[in-house]
Structure 1
Amino acid sequence: MNATSDTVLVVGAGPVGLTAAAQLARFDVSVRVIEALEQPTTESRAVGVHARSLEMLASLGVLERLKALGRRIPALDVVDGRTGRSRNRLDLGDTASRHPYVLDVAQPDTEAVLAERAAELGVVVERGVALTALSQDDDGVDVTLRGADGESTIRVGWVLGADGGHSTTRRLVGTELDGGFHGQHFAMADADVETSYAPDAIRMFTHPDGMGMLFPLAGARARIMFLVDAPPEGRTAPTLAEMQAMADVRMGGAVKMGTPRWLTYFEVHHAQVPQYRFGRVFLAGDAAHIHSPAGAQGMNTGIQDAANLAWKLALVARGRADAALLDTYNDERHPVGAMVVRTTTTLTDVGTASGPQAALRNIAMYLVGHVHVINNAVGSTMAELTINYRDSALSVHHGRAAVKAGEHAPDPAGTAVAVEDLLTTPGFLLVVSGAEHEAALREVLGDLGTVVTADAALVRAYGWPIDGMALIRPDGYLGLVADSAHPDVLRDYLATALRIAMPSSS
C-alpha cells in the first residue's frame, strides 16, 4: 500500500472538486484529484455564477479567464409569454458587490478554467479513475481506486467527495440524501438562438401552458428550459422540433433555435444528507445537497462549500490547527444547504404556479421589480451575499463595530485595493485601523496571513470608533471583529476559536 497520509484525495473534477483542489494547493497541501469520466463533460449543465462565487473565484485568480468565456447578465426579467411584455425587471446593479451581475458561462468552460488553474498549482486531474472502497481510522483513510491498470489501494489523510448527485463517496460512508425525489419535469436545450430579446437579462416567461426560461450565454448560444408533463416513457430528451414548438407558443415566437449542443429532460429533486463530515471524509456540492436549478444556486452553493472547507482542512492537514476545527464545516454549511433546498423549492413552486396562485405570483413579482428596497434584498439573496455565519463558533465580535463577525466582509467602492485582490495571497487578511499595534499584530499572525492598514473607506464601512481590527477568513467572511487592535485579542481568537497552536507571548 502506498502511504500518502498527508494528502487530500478529491473525488470528482467538477467545479466543486476543482475549486477545493486549487484552494488546497494554494495553501501548500498535497492534493490528488480523481474523476471517473475519461473526458470532461460537453454538457452545459450549471451556467449561472453569482456574485459571492465570483468574489471567491477572483481571489483564486481565475475570474478574468471566466469572464472572457461567459456573458455578464445585469438583470432578471419576467415576461408575459403571450404578449412579450416585461412584467417586471430585477436589476442587479445595486448589489453590494464588485460583481453586480450573473456570469452566464457553460460548465465545461468553468471546469476547463479551474482545471488550468489547478494544473498551474501542481494538481493534475486523473481521469478514468474511480473510488470503489474506503475505510478510515484516527490517522488516515485507506481508499481503493480503479483505473485502466486495475485496482490499487492507497492511504491518504482526508477525502473530499465532490462526485455529484450519484456520489460514490456518499454511499461508501453509509449516508444518503433525505428529501423529495419526485417533482416538476423540465425540457431543456443548449443551442444557438436568434431572438429579438437583447442578451441583457435572464428571462422567465409566464404562460398558461407552463413557464419557460432563457439564459443568454456567450455569442449566440443560450440555455432554454420549459416546464413539461412527465416525458414519454423511454424518452431521455425532447427533439429540437418539440423545443421549438414550445418556444413558439410560450415565448411568443421571438426565439428561434439552431442546431442544439445538448437536449435533455430532467426532474426536480430536493434533498440533503444529514451531515457533511464523517471523520476524515467530507461531502460537498451535489454529493451533499440536490435541489431545483431555480435561482442558479446549486453550483454556487457547492463552490462555497469548497471554499469554506479548504482553508480549514489546510490548517489541519499542515498540523497548524486541531482537527476539531473541521466540525465547523458542517456547522456552517449544512444550514446553508438546508436553506438553499427550501428556497429553491419555493422558487420552483412559484415559477410553475397556475390559476389563482399565478395571479398572486405576478403581484409579488411586480413588487419585487418596482420597490427598490425589495429589489435589492431579492438581488442580494440570489447573489448569496446575505449568507452569514454569525452563529458560528468561529465568529467572535468585540465592541461596537458596525459590521458583525460571521458576515460577508465589506468591500466597498472607493477602497484602495479590493478585498478579493488582497485575498489572492493565501491565508487570512487582517485589516487594522490605527497603527499603534500593527507590528505586534504582524508578529502574532505570522505566516497565517497578511496585515493591511484600513483606508478611510474601510474605516467607515466597519464603523470603528477609534481603532480596531477585522480578521477576514480566506473564504471572505469575517472571523474576528473588534474595536480594539490589541495583539492579545487576536492571539486569543487564533488559539481559542481556530484552535491554532500559538507560541507563548513574550
Structure 2
Amino acid sequence: MIGQPEVEKALLHQLDTPVRFGERVASIHEDDDGVTVTTEAGRTTRAKYAIGADGARSSVRQGLGIGFQGTKPEMIWAVLDAFLDTDFPVCSEIITFQLNGQSRVSWIPRERGMSRFYVLLDGDVTQEKAEASIREHLAPHRVDFVRTEWFSTFEVRERIASAFVTKEGKGRIVLAGDAAHVHSVNGGQGLNTGIADAFGLIWRLALACRWQEKGAGGADPGGVVSTYDLERRTVAQDVINVAARLVRDTMHTAKQYVATIEKNAGYITGMGVAYSEIGSRLIVDSERGIWKAGRRCPDLTLASRRLADDQQQQWQRQLRLYSLARYGRFLILAIGGASNDLHAFQRFRHAADILTLASAAEVGAVGGGQDDSDGSCPTTYASDLVAPEDSFHVLVRPDMYIGYVGDAEGVVEYLLNLFP
C-alpha cells in the first residue's frame, strides 16, 4: 500500500515538463484545430488537445456543461494515518474488524511503519471519535496513537461524467481521473483508475496527432480517441459498482466484506479489467487459449538462447514479456509456426515491434533465436506456455491490451485502419 504522495513524487521525478500546482483554469475553448486554455494566473496555452484532470469538482467539466450524475450514500468516513504503539499482533495484511455484526474499521499497513485506518462513524465525525472506535475494535489489546500524520473525512459519492470526450467522442477536450469519475475509497482504486485513464489515453492522442500531421482533418481522424470514451467509461462504471458494493458491505459482517473483495479482486488490482464485448472498434473479438482480445496480454516468463563458447545451445537468461514492450508502440507476437509470416508486417515497423514466441523444443529444432544486427537482443523467445503446434498471431496495443488474435491478414487489416 503505497501512499499517493509517494506515487506522485516518483511520477514528477520522471517528467521533463513543468507542473504548476494550484493554477486553476479560468476558461477553455475548443475549435476545429485545437484548444485554448487560460488560467487564473493569466497564462494562455494553445494545444491540439486538452485533458481535464482537475478533480471531482472539475472546472473544466463544469465549464463544458458535461453532466456528472450518480448516487450519494449517506455515509461519512474518517481516514487516519498514524504511527501506533500497540500489543495487537501486527501483520502486513489488510485487517477488517467486525463488531456487533458490522465491519466498520479497516487497518491498512502503510510505508515507514505507518498505519491507515478507515472508520465508519455515525453523527459528527472527529479524530477523537475515530480513535475511540479503533480502540474499541482492537480491544482488549492496547492501542496508543504516537503520532498522527494525517486525518480527514470523506463523504461517499458515486458519479460518472456523461461523456469523457467532447462533441460526442469526436472533440479535442478529454476528461480523466476524478474529473471523469468518483467513487468510494474502498478498494483503493481512485488514483489507480486515473493512472489507467492516462495510460489508455496518451497513445491514442499520439496516433491522432500523427494523422493530423499527415493532413487528415478533424479532432479524431483515425477514430481512436472516441474508443477511449467507450472503453474507460465502461470501466469507470464497473469500478464504481465494485466500490459501491464494498462500501455497503461494511454494514455487514467482515466475512461478507472480505468475500466481496475476493470476488472482485480482478478489478481492485486492475489485472481483471477488460474491454472485450463492449463494441470498441480497437477490439476485434477473437481468442486462442490464454490469448483473448480485450483482455490484458499475459506477462509470460520467457527464455532467450545464446550459443556457448563450445557452440552448444544454452538457455541463458529469463525475462518477462512486459520488459520487452515499449509504450507508444504496438507489439506483434508471432506464436509458434506463425513466424513464417513476419514479412507481412515489415511495412508497420515504424509503429510496431515484432517478436516470435515458441516452445523451447521448437526453437532448438530450428537452430535457435533470431538475433538483431549486433546480436545483443534476440527477437525469438521460448515459453512453456507455447505449444509446438501453435501457429497464430497476437496484436497487442500500446496499453498492453490485446486487440486481435488470429492470422497475419487480420493483423494487417487491423493496422491498416490505423496506419494506412
Q: TM-score, normalised by structure 2?
A: 0.80
1:495 Cα shift?
2.1
Tell whether 2:28 aligns with 1:134.
yes
8 A contact 2:344–2:412 mirrored in 1: no
1:114 to 11, 29, 35: 11
Whether contact under 8 Å (2:300, 2:321) holds in the other structure is no
Residues in 2 aligned to 1:465 and 1:132: alpha-carbon distance in whole angstroms: 61
Cα pair 1:188 1:225 within 8 Å, conserved = yes
Cα separation, partners in 2 of 1:207 and 1:113, compared to 1, 3 Å: same
The CA distance in 2 between the partners of 1:389 and 1:201, in whole Å, is 30
Q: Contact 1:430–1:450 (CA<8 Å) still a contact in 2?
A: yes
- Check 1:464–1:395 CA distance in 2 against 1; reply closer, same or farther (3 A cut): farther
Instruction: Give ranges in structure 2 of 5+ residues lacking alignment.
Output: 213-219, 304-317, 361-381
User: How many residues matched?
Assistant: 367
Deviations 1:267-318 (A, max 9, x none): 1111111111111111111111111111112221111111111111111123
Preserved CA contact (<8 Å) 1:403 1:462? no
> What is aligned with 1:242?
129
- Which position in structure 2 is the counterpart of 1:501? 419
SS at match of 1:259: strand
Match for 1:467: what amino acid? Answer: S
Residue 452 of structure 1: aligned partner: 355
1:179-213 CA-to-partner distances (Å, cap 9, x unmatched) read 11342111121111234333320111111276101
How far residue 378 of structure 1 moved from its aligned partner, in angstroms, is 4.1
Q: What amino acid sits opposite 1:285 in the alignment?
A: G
Amino acid at match of 2:271: L
Task: Please give the residue correspondences for 1:266-277 in structure 2 after superposition, counting only pairs within 5 Å.
Answer: 266-277=154-165
Is residue 379 from structure 1 mapped to residue 379 from structure 2 by the alignment? no
Contact 1:197 1:254 in 2 (8 A): no
Amino acid aligned to 2:398: P
Q: Following the alignment from structure 1 to structure 2, what is the Cα–Cα distance between the partners of residues 411 and 315?
A: 25
Specify the SS of the correspondent of 1:127.
Answer: coil
Residue 153 of structure 2 corresponds to which residue in structure 1? Answer: 265
Pick aligned residue for 1:164 from 55, 66, 73: 55
| Cα distance, 1:399–1:406 mapped onto 2, change above 3 Å | closer
Query: Does 1:185 find its partner at 2:84?
Result: no
Q: Which of 242, 245, 254 is the equivalent residue of 1:343? A: 242
Q: Which has the larger displacement, 432-441 or 184-193?
A: 432-441
| Aligned equivalent of 1:87 | none
Matches of 1:254 and 1:384, distance apart in 2: 36
Q: Secondary structure at the match of 1:450?
A: strand
1:325 paired residue number: 224
- 1:244 to 1:311, Cα distance in 2 relative to 1, 3 A: same
Letter in 2 for 1:332: E
Structure 1 residues 200-219: aligned runs within 5 Å? 200-208=92-100, 211-219=104-112
- Partner in structure 1 of residue 233 of structure 2: 334
Aligned amino acid, residue 130 of structure 1 = R
- Percent same amino acid at aligned positions? 27
* Contact persistence 2:82–2:115 (CA under 8 A): yes
Name the counterpart of 1:199: 91
Runs of 5+ in structure 1 lacking a partner? 1-103, 233-237
Alignment of 1:78-117 (within 5 A): 104-117=1-14
Q: CA offsets per residue over residues 313-352 of structure 1, 9 Å max, x none?
A: 1111232783421110011111111111111111111122
The structure that has the greater radius of gyration is 2
The AA in structure 2 aligned to 1:307 is: F
1:423 is matched with 325
Q: Partner residue of 2:340?
A: 436
**Alpha carbons of structure 1 residues 465 and 168: separation in structure 2 relative to 1, 3 Å:** farther
8 Å contact 1:146–1:152 — kept in the other structure?
yes
Tell me the distance in 2 between the aligned counterparts of 1:227 and 1:398: 45
Does the residue aligned with 1:454 lie in a helix, a strand or coil? strand
Contact 2:96–2:103 (CA under 8 A) maintained in structure 1: no
**1:352 corresponds to which residue?**
251
CA RMSD in angstroms, aligned pairs only: 2.6
Deviations 1:459-501 (A, max 9, x none): 664779432111111111101211x2x3x432211123xxx23
The structural deviation recorded for 1:421 is 1.1
Letter of the 2:230 partner, please give it.
D
Q: 1:222 aligns with which of 89, 111, 115?
A: 115
**Cα shift at 1:413:** 4.0
Map of 1:124 onto structure 2: 18
Structure 1 pair 229/398, CA: closer, same or farther in 2 (3 Å)? closer
Contact 2:301 2:321 in 1 (8 A): no
Deviations 1:150-194 (A, max 9, x none): x13332110111111111111121113101134211112111123
User: In the aligned structure 1, how far is the partner of 2:10 from the partner of 2:47?
Assistant: 27
